[in-house]
Amino acid sequence: MGYKVAVVGATGNVGREMLDILAERRFPADEVVALASSRSLGTEVSFGDKILKCKSLETYDFSGVDICLMSAGGAVSKEWSPKIGAAGAVVIDNSSAWRYDSDVPLIVPEVNADAIVGFSKRNIIANPNCSTAQLVVALKPLHDKARILRVVVSTYQSVSGAGKEAMDELFAQTRAIFVSDSVETKNFPKRIAFNVIPEIDVFMEDGFTKEEWKMMAETKKILDPKIKLTATCVRVPVFIGHSEAVNIEFENPISADEARDILREAPGCLVIDKRERGGYITPHEAAGEDATYISRIREDATVEHGLVLWVVADNLRKGAALNAIQIAEALINRKLIAPKKKAA
């Protein structure tokens, strides 16, 4: 007997990717249900070679659902995840609503899969921010080898990280500029086409943005609370794929060659580092892929034990949908859930 899986936010960027990945990985589901807001009632979405018609979250009965992949924003998750969890489904949530709750595990399976057991307190597991997910996949094996003291990261984040309307905005602005039309700005604080914007999420009192704070807080929760991290998060006019320039300071010595060998063996990582023209990965090449790509590995001579890396991943996959489905697979592989008996 397989699982009954509900995908909430099935019409969105992440939800559509979830449906694709469930089909690609032959997730052991007997039934997959697509849910979105009442606006999308009846909207068709693809699931492998099938078409699913969206149902409304508001009126859906979750009592037979085993796993709910939630991807409909923080406000929807705050309201619905506890209700769905109480109905007996394990919720794997993509929003930031539960990430910092001490009763909710925040999981990147390559890094802290063992922490998953804490899910039963609320029946909710949180997926990290897209920028954090790819970062910790690259940091974990290096931390195990040489103990990370401090990380300085600058991100180059694609517009798909801000949802489907944000992707439409980049397209519309680019087109408008080419045909000398007026450029409208709605989802971003400034024009994104042919520009970069150092503001993702709201400003906090100390001048950092919430996105920058999330990278710091989530890296501590997932990897090690002792790691110091400072981030500058920047939106760039790329449709899919987040890139990061990462400076790492270690307690113990580690050379670029050692780091390259360690990362080559590390789960989820793919090293492409040829030290020649074009011998690295860009977001365009990472889009649609599952790996976290690591390039430009070099020693930072300005600190005692330092490395610099270039880390790229598909934010809709490793940064969201893939990670959520890997969490569901970890629950099953560790026998932490079993399919509910369904009425005949």
Ligand X SMILES: NC(=O)c1ccc[n+]([C@@H]2O[C@H](COP(=O)([O-])OP(=O)(O)OC[C@H]3O[C@@H](n4cnc5c(N)ncnc54)[C@H](OP(=O)(O)O)[C@@H]3O)[C@@H](O)[C@H]2O)c1
Cβ 57 vs Cβ 8: under 8 Å: yes
Considering the complex, what minimum distance in angstroms separates the CB of residue 95 from ligand X? 3
14 among annotated binding-site residues: yes
The answer to whether residue 6 forms part of the interface with ligand X (CB under 6 A) is no
Spell out the long-range contacts of 79-84 with Cβ–Cβ below 8 A and sequence spacing 24 or more.
80/8, 81/124, 82/122, 82/124, 84/6, 84/123
The answer to whether residue 81 forms part of the interface with ligand X (CB under 6 A) is no
Catalytic residue among 130, 143, 269, 305: 130
Using alpha carbons, list the distances in angstroms from residue 285 to 21, 137, 243: 18, 18, 11
- Selected binder of ligand X within 69, 113, 125, 130 (CB under 6 A): 130
Strands across the sheet with 292-299, in order? 228-235, 148-157, 242-250, 306-313, 292-299, 269-271
The answer to whether residue 137 forms part of the interface with ligand X (CB under 6 A) is no
Catalytic residue among 54, 143, 233, 242: 242
- Selected binder of ligand X within 160, 209, 295, 326 (CB under 6 A): 160
The answer to whether residue 241 forms part of the interface with ligand X (CB under 6 A) is no
67 has which bridge partners? 5, 90
Closer to ligand X by Cβ: residue 37 or 247: 37
Residues binding ligand X: what is the number (CB under 6 A)? 29
- Selected binder of ligand X within 4, 5, 6, 11 (CB under 6 A): 11
Say which amino acid occupies 124. I
Closer to ligand X by Cβ: residue 12 or 283: 12
- Selected binder of ligand X within 5, 6, 14, 233 (CB under 6 A): 14
271 has which bridge partners? 294
> Which residues, other chains included, contact 136 with Cβ-Cβ below 8 Å and sequence gap of 6+?
108, 111, 128, 218, 219, 222, 223
- Give the pair of three-digit tokens for residue 321: 């949908």
The answer to whether residue 243 forms part of the interface with ligand X (CB under 6 A) is no
**Can 242 be counted among the known catalytic residues?**
yes
**Can 305 be counted among the known catalytic residues?**
no
229 has which bridge partners? 151
- Give the pair of three-digit tokens for residue 261: 């060998």
99 among annotated binding-site residues: yes
Closer to ligand X by Cβ: residue 85 or 306: 85
CB atoms < 10 A from the CB of 313, how many? 34
39 among annotated binding-site residues: yes
- Selected binder of ligand X within 145, 147, 164, 260 (CB under 6 A): 164
- Selected binder of ligand X within 28, 64, 73, 82 (CB under 6 A): 73
Token match 């394990």: residue? 90
> What are the E-state strand segments in the chain?
3-8, 29-36, 44-47, 50-53, 55-56, 67-70, 90-93, 124-126, 148-157, 228-235, 242-250, 269-271, 292-299, 306-313
Q: What share of the chain is helix, strand, coil (3-state, %, to 5)?
A: 35, 25, 40
Of 283-342, binders to ligand X (CB under 6 A) are 315-316, 319-320
Closer to ligand X by Cβ: residue 84 or 229: 84
123 among annotated binding-site residues: no
Considering the complex, what minimum distance in angstroms separates the CB of residue 318 from ligand X? 10
157 among annotated binding-site residues: yes
Q: Sketch the per residue contact string, 18 through 37, with ligand X: x for CB under 6 A, - otherwise.
A: ------------------xx
In the bound state, the residue with its beta carbon closest to ligand X is 12
- Going by the annotation, the residues of the binding site for substrate are 157, 235
- Going by the annotation, the residues of the binding site are 11-14, 39-40, 99, 157, 160-161, 235, 315
Known catalytic residues are 130, 242
List residues near ligand X by CB under 6 A.
Answer: 8-15, 36-37, 39-40, 57, 71-74, 76, 94-95, 130, 160-161, 163-164, 315-316, 319-320
